[in-house]
Amino acid sequence: NRSSDLISGEGSVFAGKGCVNITGYEGENLSIYSVDGKTVASQKVVSNNTTVAVDSGIYVVKVGTRTVKLVVR
Tell me: the pLDDT tens digits for 12-68?
A: 999 999 999 999 999 999 999 999 999 999 999 999 999 999 999 999 999 988 999
pLDDT score of 69 more than 70:
yes
Q: How many residues does the chain have?
A: 73
Q: pTM of this prediction?
A: 0.85
The pLDDT value given to residue 65: 87
- What gap in Å lies between CA 54 and CA 73, rounded to an integer? 9
| pLDDT value of position 9 | 56
Instruction: Write a three-state SS string for the chain.
Output: CCCCCCCCCCCEEEEECCEEEEECCCCCEEEEEECCCCEEEEEECCCCEEEEECCCEEEEEEECCEEEEEEEC
